[in-house]
Amino acid sequence: MSTPLLELEGVQSYYGSAHILHGLDLRVNAGERVALIGRNGVGKTTVVNTVLGLAALRGGRVALAGRAMPRPRTYMAAQRGVVVVPQGRRIVANLTVEENLKLGAATGRTGHWTVPEVYKLFPILQERAHTPGTALSGGQQQMLAVGRALMANPSLILLDEPTEGLAPVIVDQLGVIFNEVARQGTALLLIEQNMTLVARVAERYCAMAKGSVVAQGVVAQTSLDELHAHVMV
């Protein structure tokens, strides 16, 4: 059986008194590509924030690489090989492209991904290595955010709405890149509204509604119409 890199079992998660996740169950195994889908506001980003300790875990279990985290904290995920490409990218404004990339290596984990390897994946970042990271286009900033995550040599990357606001041609490029990253052995949890991208990248999907997973299945056995039904307002 595959090694579970991320496990959420019966998770109850809150922001203050607001109860967002209601008994949520989710699992991502080593090397797996899973899409987390659903309408806006159902709690998808709260799944990420619970893993990072930014939302309060008040019930259930969160485990990374087989180790339970009764009180998740932001630094714990990266130490255990789980990194996030956050919604909005969060490029550090006063750093160059290359300096932003090197931030990702701060965990000290070693592996395939180095600055030269990231530049092979994203040649435009090498061309703009000494440009301020925030001077890049939206699509290039997303590539930088993915490259920075790879520099941590993670076992699992959580991608939170990575194609939001991007042109279709850039979305297509990112789809190719996500599949290449997966081929290198990194598992992906893709939180995404673009079902065409989900169909290209993910092997399995989990659909959320009202703070819990209500449906799941194999992407290759699911039509685009069925996938879209989970995200339609």
Name the residue among 88, 102, 80, 220 with its Cα closest to residue 151: 102
What is the phi/psi pair of residue 59, to 5°? 180, 150
Interval 17-68: pLDDT, tens:
999 999 999 999 999 999 999 999 999 999 999 999 999 999 999 999 888 9
Mean pLDDT of the 85-96 span: 85
What is the structure's pLDDT at 75?
82
105-114, 122-131, 155-164: least confident range = 105-114
Residue 98 pLDDT exceeds 70? yes
What is the phi/psi pair of residue 187, to 5°? -75, 155
Interval 135-158: pLDDT, tens:
988 889 999 999 999 999 999 999
Report the percentage of the chain scoring pLDDT > 70.
Answer: 98
pTM, full prediction: 0.92
Q: What is the CATH number of domain 32-55+72-229?
A: 3.40.50.300
| Residue 58 or residue 110, greater confidence | 58
What is the structure's pLDDT at 1?
57
